[in-house]
């Protein structure tokens, strides 16, 4: 109404008798958003209750912008709608990516190393493909016999084919449990593991218990685990310097027990290490 009055004041029109009102100059057309916004402001100025017109609640006095009021009835504003759609699509892609990451891969070892029950090989009886898969696994890291067998079976190869392939790799010297056990022993000693802890780790890696016991017994006869216990005692003493002696000994007993050391060896280490510290 205000815009029409202003337009007519600037462009006076004389109406002649018999003139059709369609020939009169018309005010500029208003968009739907402007109409709704003007209506909302009119309702607010008239003091109508907001509950009677929920679409325009809060218009005019610190409330939503008139375009926001139009949005309540007709949906989002074009630019805002496009931006919101992009954000929604991006969020959907992230959710699909996380869902796919949780799914195990087809065949072999899936999410977080868990074996998948679905075979990924085209022909489980293909011995050449099984041999190639075994060589690829050995190229990545040395493995004991049983660990290699488990990985090939998880890929879907026939057990008889896997047995022939792994036996042939043993003949070629590419799979050697004794050599693997000796190499793994050095890793355990660097971690200051004891005799019991080292034996458990070897069995967990797939070595047979007889092979693991053979290597561990030889290392114990050479006193390697006693040296590891003293090294652990020195580390605990350095970390607990300034604490009470009973607390330091308890920390050593706790750490040594977790690493699988013999209690008699730990008692000897505690007496020697903390006596030297006191002196």
- Return the pLDDT at 66: 52
pLDDT level of residue 233 (50, 70, 90 thresholds): very high
- Return the pLDDT at 59: 45
Cβ-contact 252, 270 below 8 angstroms: yes
CB-based contacts of 84: which residues, under 8 Å, 6+ apart? 76
Q: What is the mean pLDDT of residues 237-241?
A: 90
pLDDT above 70 as % of the chain: 56
Residue 2 pLDDT exceeds 80: no
- Return the pLDDT at 196: 95
CB-based contacts of 239: which residues, under 8 Å, 6+ apart? 251
Residue of 177, 176, 152 lying closest to 163 (CA atoms): 152
What is each CA distance from 47 to 40, 56, 57, 69, 78, in whole angstroms? 11, 12, 12, 17, 31
- Return the pLDDT at 168: 94
What is each CA distance from 229 to 23, 37, 244, in whole angstroms? 107, 82, 21
Tokens for 75, please give them. 């949906």
CB-based contacts of 129: which residues, under 8 Å, 6+ apart? 121, 122, 123, 157
Question: What is the dihedral angle through the alpha carbons of 82, 83, 85, 91, rounded to the nearest 10 degrees?
Answer: 160
Highest mean pLDDT among 30-44, 55-69, 117-131: 117-131
- Map out the domains of the chain with their CATH numbers: 2-14+25-74 (no CATH), 123-175 (1.10.10), 194-278 (no CATH)
Cβ-contact 144, 207 below 8 angstroms: yes
DSSP for 175-204 reads --HHHHHHHHHHHHHHTT--HHHHHHHHHH
The pLDDT tens digits for 114-165 are: 444 445 778 899 999 999 999 999 999 999 999 999 999 999 999 999 999 9
């Amino acid at each position: 109404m205000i815009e029409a009055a202003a337009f007519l004041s600037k462009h006076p029109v004389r109406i002649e008798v018999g003139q059709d009102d369609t020939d009169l100059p018309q005010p500029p057309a208003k968009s739907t958003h402007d109409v709704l916004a003007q209506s909302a402001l009119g309702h607010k100025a008239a003091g109508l209750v907001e509950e009677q017109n929920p679409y325009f609640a809060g218009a005019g006095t610190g409330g939503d912008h008139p375009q926001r009021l139009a949005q309540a009835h007709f949906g989002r504003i074009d630019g805002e709608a496009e931006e919101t759609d992009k954000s929604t699509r991006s969020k959907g892609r992230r959710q699909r990516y996380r869902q796919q990451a949780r799914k195990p891969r087809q065949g072999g070892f899936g999410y977080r190393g868990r074996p998948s029950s679905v075979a990924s090989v085209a022909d489980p009886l293909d011995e050449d493909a099984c041999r190639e898969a075994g060589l690829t696994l050995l190229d990545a890291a040395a493995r004991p016999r049983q660990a290699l067998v488990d990985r090939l079976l998880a890929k879907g190869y026939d057990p008889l084919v896997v047995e022939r392939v792994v036996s042939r790799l043993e003949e070629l010297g590419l799979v050697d449990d004794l050599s693997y056990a000796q190499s793994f022993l050095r890793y355990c000693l660097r971690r200051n593991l004891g005799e019991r802890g080292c034996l458990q780790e070897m069995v967990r890696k797939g070595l047979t218990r007889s092979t693991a016991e053979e290597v561990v017994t030889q290392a114990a006869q050479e006193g390697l685990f006693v040296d590891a216990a003293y090294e652990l005692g020195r580390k605990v003493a350095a970390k607990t310097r300034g604490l009470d002696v009973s607390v330091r000994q308890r920390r050593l007993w706790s750490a040594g027990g977790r690493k699988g050391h013999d209690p008699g060896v730990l008692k000897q280490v505690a007496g020697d290490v903390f006596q030297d510290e006191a002196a």
